[in-house]
Each structure stands twice: as C-alpha cells, then as structure tokens.
Structure 1
Amino acid sequence: MLQTIIKKIPLIALLLLLCCVFNYASCKYSFRDASPIPAEVKTFRVNYLENKAQFVNAQLSPQLTESLKRKIINITRLKQTNEDDAHYDISGYVSQYYPSTVNITNNATSTNRLNIGFHLIFKNTLDPTKNFEVDITRYEDFSAQLTLSDAESSLTPRIVTGIVDEIFNKIFSNW
C-alpha cells in the first residue's frame, strides 16, 4: 500500500502545482489609450460636418455629425459645448462621394463601390501644436444589380461608422 501511495505522489504533486498555477495566475488585457486625454481638456465641439462633394447625399452630413458627437460623449469624459472656447474643436467636410465600378464579368459590371472621402480639421485650443488636418476615405462594395439609392441605405451607415471610428482614433489615440 505504501508503494502505491509513493507511486501516486508525482501525480498528486503535479495536480497541486497545476491548481496553484491556475488559482494564482491572472491574465490582464486591456486597451489603454496611447495618448490619454490631458486633465485640462474638458470640453469639445463638433461643428456641423458639411457635404462639399460633387454628389450630395442629404443624410450623410447629419449622420456623421451626430454619430461623432455620440461616440465622444459615450467614450470620453469630455463635455459637449457649442461655444467657441471648446478645448477640442472638430470640423470638416465630406470631400468625395461617388460610385465606381470594381468588377466586370462577361462585359457587364458585376460589382460597384460607394466611395466617401472626408477632410478632418482638428484644433486643440489649449495646445495648438496638436492641431492637424487629415483626409479619411472609406468605401463599401455592392452588387451592380442594385441602384445607388438602393445600396446607399445599407452602405452609408457602415461607412459612417468607419469614418467616425477613424476620426475618433486620429483625435484620441496614436493610430
């Protein structure tokens, strides 16, 4: 009987070791902003994001403006203001809005693409060295069997989300 217990000691030791490892091991993973918002920054303003593209989708500018405001309010501690003295002043405009052909099969268009370009203007009133302007582009492909107006209803929300995410990342992260 003693020999049976002695043979099981390595197995028992291994089980105890594994229990200790799993009980005390922890894995922490988090997304930390590479450039946290400075404590002195308290307010932001999103100016109406105009549509200056040759082709104008009337819903695009309001969707971009409101989506960006919501994202900043929901994710940061900053307070929205409409005053000229906002610490972060965000403006810009839709610079491009056009469909293009992506794929041709059997001498006919099979896939089209909706392209949207946005010009972002960011001003940090507390630290003007952080001011910048950048162009952002997004696109979504759609079947050539759909008209542009049919495709817009499903594509525009996805493109807006992509543009808003990129604007947010350009302002609040080092991406």
Structure 2
Amino acid sequence: MILKNFKYKPVDDSLKLSAIIRLATIVLVLSAFFASCYSFKDVSIEPEAKTVRISYIDNRARIINPNLSQRLTDKLRQKVINQTRLSQTNSDEAHYDISGQITDYYVTTSGISNQQAATNRLNVTVHIIFKNRIDDKKSFETDFTRNFDFSASLSLNQAEASLTDLVVQNLTDEIFNRIFSNW
C-alpha cells in the first residue's frame, strides 16, 4: 500500500500564519483592483420623493407572450418597493410615475450551421416613460431592447418557457438602473 510509508508531519504554525498573510494580501490587492475598476452607486432619489406609481406595462407587440406584461409589471413594482424607500400609490400626483408598453417581441435567426438555422434570437423592446414630478429634467422616455439566444431546435413556446424569467429579470434591472442609479 502506498499509505503505509506515509507519516503525518505537523505543519509549523509559522508556516500557517505565513500562508494566511499571503492569502489575505492577495484578497486585499484583488479587492482594491476591482474597486478601482467598478464603482457601484446607491439608489438615487430626491429627499422630497415619497411615492411612486407603476402602471401596468401593456403588451402591444405583434407577437404576444401572455405572461410577459404581468410578470414584468409585478417584478418592477417588487424591485422598486423592496430596494427604495418609495411607497406605491395609484395617485396621479405620485412623485415618480413609471409607465410603458412592450412594443416589440419577435424572433430572428442569429446563427447558421450546415445551411440551417442553429440559433434563434428573441428580441424584446419595452418603451418606458418615467416622469419625475420633483425634477422634470430627470424625466425621460426611452426604449429598452434585450436579445436572448436559444437553440433553433426549440419552438418559440419552448424557448419562452426557459427564457421568460431571464427576459423579465434583465429588463427589470435595466429599467430600474436607468431610473434610480447614477451610472
């Protein structure tokens, strides 16, 4: 047996301490590097802002995913309520007013192999209108477009089953960051 000749040798405590110090130094250097490359800003809300109205994001695209509007609206509401100090209201006088619609939802071929489609791409566009009633200069109206690739061997219904969560999460994050972040 190979283990017959193996003898346990205790590791010197100074070697353990030296290894821990080296590891801590590497972690600190990497942390400093990443902190200098990326800066994350907190949510930016005027001190006077107390309320937000998030209207239902209607689906006006040519192809309708029957779950997308409700799920996107709910996820955006949830994110705003959980990650800001704003209270949700249905009042026309809300300090922040978010509304929009899904304007495009279609599939294109994005990859070809052996003269056949290998990869398809789901393209989703949401038009958002943000009204800041405290500082109108921060109001905007813009489109958010995201693309999601999937195997051409899947039908759109099959792809939606696996992609809808990702679509909702990505669009919600992008909309939230555009409204509430300084980057």
TM-score normalised per structure 1: 0.81
Deviation at 1:156, TM superposition (A): 1.3
Which consecutive residues of structure 1, in runs of 5 or more, have no partner in the other structure?
1-14
Q: Deviations over 1:24-67 (max 9, x none)?
A: x9x8968332x721110001010010111111111110011000
Q: Percent sequence identity over matched residues?
A: 51
- Counterpart in the other structure of 1:119: 127
Secondary structure at the counterpart of residue 145 of structure 2:
strand
- 1:171 counterpart (155, 164, 179): 179
- Counterpart in the other structure of 1:65: 73
- 1:107 counterpart (106, 109, 115): 115
Give the letter aligned to residue 53 of structure 1: A
Q: Confirm whether residue 31 of structure 1 aligns to residue 60 of structure 2.
A: no
Separation in 2, partners of 1:104, 1:129: 46
- Counterpart in the other structure of 1:55: 63
- 1:144 counterpart (152, 155, 158): 152
Give the letter aligned to residue 94 of structure 1: I
Q: Deviations over 1:73-123 (max 9, x none)?
A: 111111111111110000011011001101111111111111100111000
RMSD after superposition: 2.3
Secondary structure at the counterpart of residue 122 of structure 2:
strand
Give the letter aligned to residue 41 of structure 2: R
Deviation at 1:159, TM superposition (A): 1.0
Size of the aligned set, in residue pairs, is: 154
Separation in 2, partners of 1:169, 1:38: 15
